[in-house]
Amino acid sequence: MYSTEEIRKLSVKAITNFRFLDSVGNVAPNSLYDLALGPADSKEKLYMFIRGSCLSCHMLTCPRAAIHLLLNQLRLVDHGAMQEVYRIEQVLFQHLEENPKSTGDEIGQVLKQFTDSVLGVNDEGSENTKPIKHLVDKKNSLIGDFWRIQMKSRKCPHCRTGKFQLRREHNSKLIITMPSVPIGVEITNDDLLAGKRVYLTASTAREHMMKLWEQEGFFLKCLFAGMEGGTMSMEGEGGFYPDLFFLDLMVVPPCRYRPINRLGDQMFTNGQTVNMQAVMKDCGVVSKLLALIAGEKAKEEELEEEEEQQPQQAPEPTDQSFLVGIPGITITDKLYNSWVRLQTHINIVFDSEMDKMIVEKYPGIRQILEKKEGLFRKHMMGKRVDYAARSVICPDMYIETNEIGIPMVFATKLTYPQPVTPWNVKELRQAVLNGPNVHPGASMVINEDGRKTILSPDSLVQREAVAKQLLTPCPGPHKMPIKIVNRHIKNGDVLLLNRQPTLHRPSIQAHCARILPGEKVLRLHYANCKAYNADFDGDEMNAHFPQSELARAEAYLLVSTDQQYLVPKEFFFHCMAGREGLVDTAVKTSRSGYLQRCVIKHLEGLVVQYDLTVRDSDGSVVQFLYGEDGLDIPKTPFLQQKQFSFIEDNYKVIKRSQGLDEVLARLDPQAANRHFASIQSWKAKREVACPRRGAFLLFSQKKLAKLKKTAEPTNPDCYGRNVAESQLIEMWRSLDEPNRLKYSRKASRCPGPSLGLLNPDVCFGSVSENFHSVTEKYLQNEAGRSRDAVDTHRLREILMVASSNIKTPMMSIPVLNTKKALKRAKTLRKRLTRVCLAEVDYESEEDDGVDDAEDKEDEDEEEEEEAAAAAAEAEEQTPEVSQLDLSQQLSTRGKGKGKATRRTSGRTKHPESYSDETLDQMRTNTVDLVLPVSKVHFDLTSVLSALAHNAVIMETKGLTRCLLGETTKKGGEKETVLNTEGINMQEMFNHGDILDINRLYSNEVHAMAKTYGIEVGLKVIEKEIKNVFAVYGIEVDPRHLSLVADYMCFEGMYKPLNRHAIQSNPSPLQQMTFETSYKFLKQATMLGLHDKLESPSACLVVGKIVKGGTGLFELKQPLQ
């Protein structure tokens, strides 16, 4: 944001005329198209500031302890001291326990001493601390919690003024209800009367913010780091200035960025200009009204002072015709309404969606930045770039498969900057002589000092003069050692061809140019159609001409069509006959495309580094080894169980090809066996190869056994700890710092050696390819549209939503393989299944119970078993489930048709236990239906049916249905599994004598992560994605899935791949190029965030080479 003084210094013209064209169509002076301009939510924060401050004493109403705590926590986070951020809260609580009445200054001093002891007195190293995801996430959560919890309207603790009620209307005005004023307090402003509802004007708000800044500036400087340094205060000195919340002057961009559109004789104004024109009209009206009010006051004063003065000496009446169109009775009302309208039009300049009332909307700054047609995605991210061509493609089988036919119209426009050397000067001189219109020619020559000479197509003399001086150095300081000629593209030059949609890596490939005079379109060989999914019914393709030798080298050697192929061993495993092509593209392309974009945008910075770790662009470690084993996936197709038999059959060939005979000849079998035996014995002694080590664990090993002997045996507390363990924790907390350091030194291990070097590989390429195959396969309709929709939704649910409220929650628990457990599992299945009134058939002659699908031959055995089980479980059952008291009135709505009240005088039992007498008695019970008067005709059958389905007799919380099924284990054995619709893990833990609780599984990631830890949640994500793919016969390598799951969980919680999760990303440009650019831009500006330009998106925006693949290293030129 520019301050007022900066706008004055930057501006070239004061814009005062809202009419931008005169009567004959010329540009009006001092208008929005004046020739001097060149040839043709801070609001949200301000609202919360005012809400959380006192308008009487101009101080924040939140507790001082919260201010000092946040201030010191932000300092610690900026230095990367993550553990101390939590420890400082304990320091504060401990101080408040010891000194409940301590003042804010005392609290600030205590917290400052702690922070200084951690960071040292001089804490200037914060600029060098590299922001990583965990630190950014913690900082956002600290500031967000402060705004949400502390900045609320409350009674002022300083001046004891009551609570100010603040309300917003249409994003254009603030209405304040004044509190009752305590005795002895005077409010200087006449408008702020007790209990009165007033409109808070911009000038009053500004005055309040200035005073608030004077009182609380030490804290607000930390909260709004973006307002420091770049802004200029009124005195001209750099520093903080709250005036940035308000707008005195508005910047008008040059005309070339908002051009007038012409269609025939008509001219259409740019939307930005229309918005600013509305602001200018409002400014003119407000100025006239203020002048009118000032004139009336002056007139009254003159009349009071000089009553005897002559009437003709009074000022001339001003033109008041403009007042007719302004709503309001008095001039003050009209001024108020004009002011609100001005605020609304200012809002529209920034965001046209802020005014919901207007019908005709023109794009504001937010609309220019955001979405697919916005500045970031359309222009900065390379959708529309220089040195590119686009045309229709036609087939041509007479060119090579690695060539592309270029028409002459492109050949004379696409140029390459060729340095001039003694070896190519003859060719380049001829190109300069040919000029820009004759191929092969040149369009421009760049001199050593950076000056550019555009070659004239008409002046042969100029071209000859330039051609003769190509090897002659120009006088003056040099930026470059030699001249550069922008020559035309020629045969053999490499171009990158792309067809949209770019779904996978081969959608962009490199072709060599073949200039074809007389052609008008691009010519493509048939062999390349498969990779681009291209046909010749009007498809268009983009051609990009690389502008550096490094880019050309990559294109020739890595991306060339000659390098994109499947070798026989790859085809052997990847062949999926009959499943290629996008069949159902029209139905699901948008959804699958957005899913793939979310995945790639989050994973774009993941790279396998030289230490074999997978890291994001900020240096955060996502995996210590890619795929948890560090293997390169394309080189490991045979490391699968189903391929081992193939290797076994052909081991002789492998032995010969790898030279294993020579190795085996030198091997000592006995020594090898001894070595193998020692390895096995070492493994047997150590259950965990790398046991966890830590200072507290070492302390526990030494002290816990002794404490257990002395402590009395008692029941564990709510955390599952006994007395000895609780005493141990207290001993550790009370331990002094030198003793803690002693245990830390003993527990720390020596650093291991380097794992070696490996050519780093960019992971997101392979990930996006696999997700392309996923989207491609589930677009196909072979499995039926209903299941297709379910699986698409499930994939979005796992990756993009990550909600705990999923559509199809389930649990799967194996039943213990004993006769008793299998019998009791059938009863448990009935107990856990929800029973509604509609499902109970009281009239049935054959009482088969809730589920009548039992086998007749097991009836006698089951009756005995159920009688025993019922007796054993009578105590276990909850009163709500076993004995539902129906003597109370049960009222249920039935689809809006009426209300039923049922009165019965018994308690329900299992249906099979009812006698005939009881059934007769139940038939005499009554059901009262209360029906609305508005309707005359009722279908009582449907009303009763709906009510019966809603009246629940028996249920377990969270579960709707249970089923017993059989599955086959890996060994071929069959086992019984209890499957539930719904989740209630605590209920399952109560039946550990029947169910194998250690193998409980649920498809709800949050529930599994909360119960068993984040690592289990990670495995659930992998399994669920794998299950979605398995429906279509797609096998995605588990290493890819582990990478996606690890990324979603490596921050310690299950986060989705959407715009909310990307808030913890330390690269503002990566956030802005994903979604909601305006929001992220505002946030980065207010907080003063910096982008290190290390993420791929940030590199593309500023034109840097992406740090991945061949961009991860640099080349050195051998000078000898």
Q: Which residue, of 540, 562, 584, is where some domain finishes?
A: 562
Segment holding 1098, helix H or strand E: helix 1096-1102
The Cα 140–Cα 134 span in angstroms is 10
| All residues at 6 or more sequence positions from 584 whose CB lies less than 8 Å from its CB, including other chains | 779, 780, 781, 788
DSSP code of residue 1033:
T
Query: How many CB atoms are located within 10 Å of the residue 354 CB?
Result: 18
- At residue 295, what is the residue type? G
| All residues at 6 or more sequence positions from 1043 whose CB lies less than 8 Å from its CB, including other chains | 603, 606, 614, 622, 623, 626, 627, 763, 767
Q: Which structure tokens are listed for 372?
A: 């697919």
The Cα 245–Cα 970 span in angstroms is 66
User: Are 250 and 261 within 8 A, CB to CB?
Assistant: no
pTM of structure = 0.70
240 and 267 in a common domain:
no
Instruction: State the helix-helix crossing angle for 1014-1030 and 1038-1049, rounded to 10 degrees.
Output: 140
Identify the pLDDT of residue 521. Answer: 93
User: Are 489 and 431 within 8 A, CB to CB?
Assistant: no
The Cα 988–Cα 999 span in angstroms is 12
The Cα 500–Cα 497 span in angstroms is 10
532 and 467 in a common domain:
yes
**Checking DSSP bridges between strand 403-407 and strand 508-516, what pairing results, if any?**
parallel
Write out residues in the chain with pLDDT < 70, as ranges.
1, 9, 12-13, 17-44, 121-129, 180-195, 226-243, 297, 299-319, 382-383, 567-590, 687-693, 712-721, 748-791, 841-927, 935
Domain presence at residue 221: yes
DSSP code of residue 150:
I
| All residues at 6 or more sequence positions from 795 whose CB lies less than 8 Å from its CB, including other chains | 595, 774, 778, 1025, 1028
Name beta bridge partners: 927: 902
- At residue 884, what is the residue type? L
Name beta bridge partners: 900: 892, 929
Segment holding 169, helix H or strand E: strand 165-169
The Cα 557–Cα 559 span in angstroms is 6
Name beta bridge partners: 907: 885
Name beta bridge partners: 177: 165, 197
The Cα 1089–Cα 1063 span in angstroms is 13
CA 148 centroid distance within chain: 21
Domain presence at residue 1120: no
CA 582 centroid distance within chain: 28
471 and 333 in a common domain:
no
Q: How many independent structural domains does the chain possess?
A: 5
| All residues at 6 or more sequence positions from 736 whose CB lies less than 8 Å from its CB, including other chains | none
Q: Which structure tokens are listed for 242?
A: 């709250």
| All residues at 6 or more sequence positions from 238 whose CB lies less than 8 Å from its CB, including other chains | 228, 229, 230, 231, 232
432 and 346 in a common domain:
no
CA distances from 78 to 68, 279, 1109 (A): 16, 41, 31
540 and 409 in a common domain:
yes
| Strand, helix or coil for residue 381 | coil
Cite the beta strand spans of 402-519 per DSSP E: 403-407, 415-419, 442-446, 452-454, 484-488, 494-498, 508-516
Residue linked to tokens 């005012």: 50
- At residue 694, what is the residue type? G
Identify the pLDDT of residue 1019. Answer: 93
840 and 887 in a common domain:
yes
**Checking DSSP bridges between strand 835-836 and strand 952-954, what pairing results, if any?**
antiparallel
Longest dimension (CA), the chain: 131
Residue 386 lies in domain: 382-562
The Cα 1061–Cα 1055 span in angstroms is 6
Identify the pLDDT of residue 185. Answer: 53
Domain presence at residue 46: yes
Identify the pLDDT of residue 423. Answer: 93
| Strand, helix or coil for residue 197 | strand
Q: Which structure tokens are listed for 516?
A: 């074809």
363 and 465 in a common domain:
no
Measured at the CA of 603, the angle between CA 598 and CA 608, to 5 degrees, comes to 165
> Among 543, 562, 531, 525, which residue's Cα sits nearest to residue 399?
525
> Among 505, 521, 520, 621, which residue's Cα sits nearest to residue 561?
505
Cite the beta strand spans of 383-524 per DSSP E: 388-395, 403-407, 415-419, 442-446, 452-454, 484-488, 494-498, 508-516, 522-524
Domain presence at residue 1026: no
CA distances from 554 to 498, 558, 561, 645, 866 (A): 16, 5, 12, 39, 74
Q: Which residue, of 562, 596, 631, is where some domain finishes?
A: 562
* Residue length of the chain: 1120
Segment holding 733, helix H or strand E: helix 723-733
Name beta bridge partners: 390: 542
- At residue 94, what is the residue type? Q
61 and 82 in a common domain:
yes
Name beta bridge partners: 453: 445
| Strand, helix or coil for residue 1014 | helix
Give me the DSSP letters along 930-969. E--TT-----HHHHHHHHHHH-EEE--TTEEEEEEEEEE-
> Among 1073, 1053, 843, which residue's Cα sits nearest to residue 371?
1073
Q: Which residue, of 734, 752, 770, is where some domain finishes?
A: 752
The Cα 84–Cα 109 span in angstroms is 17
399 and 506 in a common domain:
yes
As a whole number of Å, the end-to-end CA separation of the chain is 53
439 and 552 in a common domain:
yes
Q: Which long-range contacts (CB under 8 A, 24 or more apart) does 684-693 make?
A: 693/747, 693/748, 693/749
291 and 339 in a common domain:
yes
User: Torsion angle, CA of 1037/1040/1041/1047, rounded to 10 degrees?
Assistant: 170
262 and 241 in a common domain:
no
| All residues at 6 or more sequence positions from 654 whose CB lies less than 8 Å from its CB, including other chains | 647, 660
**Residue-wise burial string across 571-595, b where 16 or more C-beta atoms lie within 10 A, e elsewhere:** eeeeeeeeeeebeeeeebeebbeeb
Query: How many CB atoms are located within 10 Å of the residue 1023 CB?
Result: 14
Domain presence at residue 526: yes
Cis peptide before 422, with omega less than 30 degrees from 0? no
Cis peptide before 29, with omega less than 30 degrees from 0? no
Q: Which structure tokens are listed for 858?
A: 């097991």
> Among 311, 241, 542, 582, which residue's Cα sits nearest to residue 410?
542
